[in-house]
Amino acid sequence: MNPRATLALLLLTALVLGGLFYLRKNVEPTRDAEQKQRYLAVFEPDDITTIDITRNGTKLSLRREGGEWRMTAPLKDRADPDAIDRLLHALRFMDVRDRQPGRNPANFPECGLELPRARIVLGGAENVIVDLGAETALPNEIFAKLGSESSIARIPSSILELVTRPPDSFRDPRLTNLMADDVEKFTVRRADGEMTLRRERGAWVIAKPVQAAADPRAVRAFLEPLLGLRVKDFGAQDAAPDTSAALPGQAAAISLTPRGGGDELELKLQRGGTNNAENISAFFEPRGGNISVDAAAAVLFDISPETLRDRSLGHVDIDTIDRIRVESDGKVVTLQRGGEGWSGVEDGRSRHAEEIADLVQLFNTTRVEGFRTAASAAETGLTAPAQKIIFYAWLSENSAEEAAGAHPIAGAEAGLPAPDGKIYARATGSDETVTIAPELPAMLRAIVAPDNVNGPR
């Protein structure tokens, strides 16, 4: 190629690239220009990390730290992310009704922008300053100004409702941002005693006043409403109330230990009367001290260890079961898995897989109706249980943890009927007497056929 032609082509390419660079730097795309013409402030809400609102000589400051909004002035507290989203959305989409360029607010005192009634400063990828001034002659409009622009705009006055709200309206109304899975231990204190639950190897157990397994679903159902309590009113910060002299039913407290460490959190509640749960006063230092919470907090006055106890006899996965031993009224059947079905070792009868699945389902869903620690052995009939069931897993070879052979997974035994019609029972390996519905013992009697079945061995 001719060197002169090549040089000319390079110069032309440089001019085109330079022109494109200039246009991108100095000429806004059509859409951006339209946005800036239509709205007072154009920014990306997700890029905003600081908000400062000055009104009536006071300053409200909000900061995003680690993905969470916090209020830093006029007090320090967790901020309401929903309230901040509403504020940023309203600021981003403030319609400009009219724009008057080339106007200095100092020369137009009627616009109220020389000393604005509110100034909003947004910080982030770029800073945005919005001044809100006086009302215009038109209804529901105010004067406004963006940063250092030499123009005065008219915008809807609805933005004032968000900007001039009291500081408490920007505080997070949720008592905490914790979930039940974030709690390692908790203690409930009332005039009638204490109750402590903690995690052991990932499972909830009751440590006080009794030692027993806890139902994780019941624990979650108790903790979640408490952790998510709505704060109805933020009172003045003060010392925690003295509830030592409160009558039973008037005061309660719960101490929570977060998982992974951290300061223990204590919530103290007080109500005026035994049946008055509509407005409960509380003290929770992380939220500023004295607060008022919604009626869901009343659960703390009524919770008991029995409510949180594990009411199952045990749980088995049918796929892990190899043998089932069933005893009823002196007869025994050992059910052994074979192919798609099950067969009785003693009676030689086959059982359909559906029948065994129903048995496992009934065992897993049978719930403890009551705990009867005071019942005597003669009363319960559990010294010689009428029915027993034990589920086994079978190991064909020795392992480092267990020897080959049958290994009990779970089970239960049933005795005599209780006065209320329930059946005295206990889980295999437990000494605690409970009562259950009669359906499980009835199924065990049906499984053990009365004929051609040997006695227990």
> Mean pLDDT in runs of 10 for the chain (457 residues)?
66 66 57 78 94 94 94 94 96 94 87 94 94 95 91 94 94 93 96 95 93 93 94 74 56 93 90 60 89 91 93 92 93 87 85 91 95 88 94 73 75 95 94 94 85 47
pLDDT score for 404? 62
Q: In the chain, count H helices and then E strands.
A: 10, 27
pLDDT score for 241? 55
Please provide residue 281's backbone torsions phi and psi, each rounded to the nearest 5 degrees. Answer: -80, 150
Determine whether 359 is exposed, middle or buried from the number of CB atoms within 10 Å of its CB (0-12, 13-18, 19+): buried
pLDDT score for 17? 65
pLDDT score for 238? 59
Give the contacts of 231 (CB within 8 A, at least 6 positions apart): 171, 173, 174, 175, 287, 291, 292, 293
Give the contacts of 89 (CB within 8 A, at least 6 positions apart): 45
Please provide residue 84's backbone torsions phi and psi, each rounded to the nearest 5 degrees. Answer: -70, -40
